[in-house]
Amino acid sequence: MVALNGEIRLDILKVALVTILEDAVGFAPFIFEDQAGPRPKKGNYGTIKIITPFIMEGQDSETVAAAGSSVVITTQGQRELTISAQIFRENALQKMALLQTKIQSRHFREKARFVASKRGQSFSFIDALSIQDLSALLNSNYEQRAQMDIRIRVVSSLSENIETIGQVGLDGSIKDVANQIKGPGKLIISDH
């Protein structure tokens, strides 16, 4: 039997990221770019897009635990995602710089881990990369826009319960190398 006890759920991950980033910058909404819908009419807003999903970090580890005739093999590995965050409108660069600083803060990282865990997804922020000024004209008006890539790490794991044979018994005659019977014999192999 295979159990995904640490499945990476993008739906939960996205909700947790939105909650964490909205709290960090002090405004809402933060929306995923793949969502349909109009832009907010006024005020700051942000977008998030996963740009590199599930890059394997190192080798997955495997642990084996035995109990009676049952063996549980757990495979666990870290996956890295890079998300692109953008902030639009008033003071976009300053707000993004504040977010960049917060991501480096131990307190922010611990709080983010707690919020994610409460929502059923385990991940942590790795770092925030350089901020880009993407301000441009929009409908003949100048709009401020700041962009930054953020790396996060999630853990993927699964457990496999493998049934084993608890004991094997062999009963018969013992023979020497010349195939001569030397007498009765019994051999028992057990996991106890």
| Contact between residue 141 and residue 135 where contact means Cβ atoms under 8 Å apart | no
Where in the sequence is the domain holding 38, given as residue range(s)?
2-190
Whole-model pTM: value is 0.74
Q: How many domains in the chain?
A: 1
Residue 12 backbone phi and psi in degrees, to 5? -70, -40
Q: Which whole number is the average pLDDT over 78-87?
A: 93
User: Rounded to the nearest 5°, which phi and psi values hold at 112?
Assistant: -60, -40
**Residue 80 region, left (φ>0) first, then alpha (ψ -120 to 50), else beta?**
beta
**Would the pLDDT of 2 be above 60?**
no
Distances (CA, A) of 101 to 2, 6, 94, 96, 150: 41, 30, 11, 9, 12
23-81: pLDDT as tens digits: 999 998 988 876 667 888 889 999 999 999 888 888 888 988 887 778 888 888 888 99
